[in-house]
């Protein structure tokens, strides 16, 4: 409940900050991301063999890879806007953002956190593709990345064991395949309509990490196939709306906001998809949370920040659209009477509500 409150406050704060400020501050954010990851490498807390957290005294443990990925997506959106012609026409322009991506991936692999590495690399490719990068360059990079990931798996014994147990978890159901077999049992017990809210047996210490990485299996057990389809549909709507908001921002010549929405929506959808696939045995086990569902303060707050950014973009889109019919209302000097870029402040939170109430009142009046 504490992290939900922090997340709502963070979402509200992000909603009040103009996207133009994030574009101007993108280099500072990238530097902060690298500083956080370096601090984890030096003073991070180790849990289950992975050093991914910073212990903030009196507060909570921060998983630095979460805000670091968000900071890089903000930076990359600004970079695409500034260097889009080079990205589209020259190979060096295409490679340039990957040079800044490399240090983040290095720190992720040092933790180790292969899941965060895969997500950030995939989102980067998606944003470059939507930014107009040539398809053949993207295919070559994707093949190189897949080869590198395969080498990382093959050369590390415990990762290789995960892949082998994923292919046939029942061969060692009480050993390396225990977590996946228990997850599949939970999914199977849900059948069509589930066993009912709170009636899961697998969460009674049978399924490890049932409150974080494998919470989807518990949801499938308690709500069944119907509940799973509803959850997938909800994630689908959120991702679809994120892309639509980004598309609208681009149409209004707000390219930074558009590319930012593409990256955030892609991250949210891809992470949810991978988590669900892992729970159902379609992908090897990875430590990725289910956004907005899994227990974990860093993930919840970061996703709240992402949603706040997308809502801000949507609000600015609506403000820009509202000003288009009023373009003729200019001062004698030729300047527009009203700015198309909403400013700072908590009053921004109330503006959409006031606009909605005005519209509703007008409709009730029969106009």
Question: What is the per-residue pLDDT for 347?
Answer: 52
Q: Give the mean model confidence (pLDDT) for residues 168-191.
A: 85
Q: Give the mean model confidence (pLDDT) for residues 312-329.
A: 81
Q: Give the mean model confidence (pLDDT) for residues 194-216.
A: 88
Q: Are 284 and 162 in contact (CB under 8 A)?
A: yes
Q: How far apart are CA 204 and CA 200, in angstroms?
A: 8
User: Which residues lie below 8 Å from residue 93, measured CB to CB, with a gap of 6+?
Assistant: 83, 85, 86, 87
Comparing 24-28, 100-104, 118-122, 340-344, the range with the smallest average pLDDT is 340-344
341 pLDDT above the threshold of 80: no
pLDDT bracket for residue 167 (50, 70, 90): confident
In a domain, 70, yes or no: yes
Q: What percent of the chain has pLDDT over 70?
A: 87
With 0-12 CB in 10 A as exposed, 13-18 as middle and 19+ as buried, what is 133? buried
Apex CA 163: angle with CA 160 and CA 169, to 5°? 125
In a domain, 328, yes or no: no
Q: Give the mean model confidence (pLDDT) for residues 13-28.
A: 94
In a domain, 331, yes or no: no
Q: How far apart are CA 223 and CA 316, in angstroms?
A: 38
In a domain, 248, yes or no: yes
In a domain, 232, yes or no: yes
Question: What is the per-residue pLDDT for 363?
Answer: 47
Please state the domain count of the chain: 1
In a domain, 225, yes or no: yes
pLDDT in tens, 223-268: 999 999 999 999 999 999 999 999 999 999 999 999 999 999 999 9
Q: How far apart are CA 132 and CA 80, in angstroms?
A: 9
CB count in 10 Å sphere of residue 160: 14
Structural domain that includes position 130: 2-321
Please give the residue that has the higher pLDDT: either 353 or 184. 184
Q: How far apart are CA 105 and CA 143, in angstroms?
A: 17
In a domain, 355, yes or no: no
In a domain, 155, yes or no: yes
**pTM (predicted TM-score):** 0.83
pLDDT bracket for residue 362 (50, 70, 90): low
User: Which residues lie below 8 Å from residue 295, measured CB to CB, with a gap of 6+?
Assistant: 211, 212, 215
Please give the residue that has the higher pLDDT: either 202 or 351. 202
CB count in 10 Å sphere of residue 108: 25
328 pLDDT above the threshold of 60: no
Q: How far apart are CA 131 and CA 83, in angstroms?
A: 10
Question: What is the per-residue pLDDT for 164?
Answer: 74
pLDDT bracket for residue 95 (50, 70, 90): very high
pLDDT in tens, 43-71: 878 777 778 888 777 667 788 888 999 99
pLDDT bracket for residue 358 (50, 70, 90): low
């Amino acid at each position: 409940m504490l992290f939900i409150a922090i997340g709502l406050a963070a979402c509200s704060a992000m909603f009040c900050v103009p996207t133009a400020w994030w574009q101007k501050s993108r280099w500072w954010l990238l530097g902060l991301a690298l500083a956080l990851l370096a601090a984890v490498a030096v003073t991070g807390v180790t849990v289950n063999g992975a050093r991914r957290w910073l212990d903030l005294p009196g507060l909570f443990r921060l998983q630095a890879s979460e805000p670091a990925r968000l900071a890089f997506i903000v930076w990359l959106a600004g970079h695409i806007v500034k260097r889009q012609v080079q990205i589209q026409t020259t190979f060096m322009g295409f490679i340039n953002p990957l040079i800044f991506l490399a240090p983040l991936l290095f720190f992720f692999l040092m933790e180790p956190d292969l899941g965060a590495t895969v997500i950030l690399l995939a989102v980067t490719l998606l944003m470059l593709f939507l930014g107009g990068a040539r398809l053949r360059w993207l295919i070559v990079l994707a093949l190189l990345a897949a080869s590198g990931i395969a080498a990382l798996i093959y050369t590390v014994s415990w990762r290789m064991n995960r892949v082998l147990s994923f292919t046939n978890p029942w061969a060692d159901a009480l050993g390396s395949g225990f977590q996946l077999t228990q997850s599949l049992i939970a999914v199977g017990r849900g059948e069509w309509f589930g066993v009912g809210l709170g009636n899961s047996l697998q969460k009674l210490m049978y399924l490890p990490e049932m409150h974080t990485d494998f919470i989807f299996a518990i949801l499938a057990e308690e709500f069944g196939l119907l509940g799973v389809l509803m959850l997938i549909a909800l994630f689908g709507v959120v991702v679809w709306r994120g892309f639509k908001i980004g598309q609208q921002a681009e149409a209004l010549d707000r390219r930074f906001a558009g590319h930012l929405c593409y990256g955030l929506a892609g991250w949210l959808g891809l992470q949810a998809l991978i988590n669900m696939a892992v729970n159902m045995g379609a992908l090897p086990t990875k430590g990725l949370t289910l956004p907005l569902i899994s227990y974990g303060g860093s993930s919840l707050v970061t996703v709240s920040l992402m949603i706040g950014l997308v809502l801000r973009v949507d609000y600015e889109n609506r403000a820009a659209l509202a000003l288009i019919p009023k373009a003729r209302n200019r001062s004698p000097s030729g300047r527009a009477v009203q700015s198309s870029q909403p400013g700072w402040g908590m009053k921004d939170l109330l503006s959409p509500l006031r606009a909605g109430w005005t519209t509703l009142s007008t409709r009730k009046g029969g106009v």
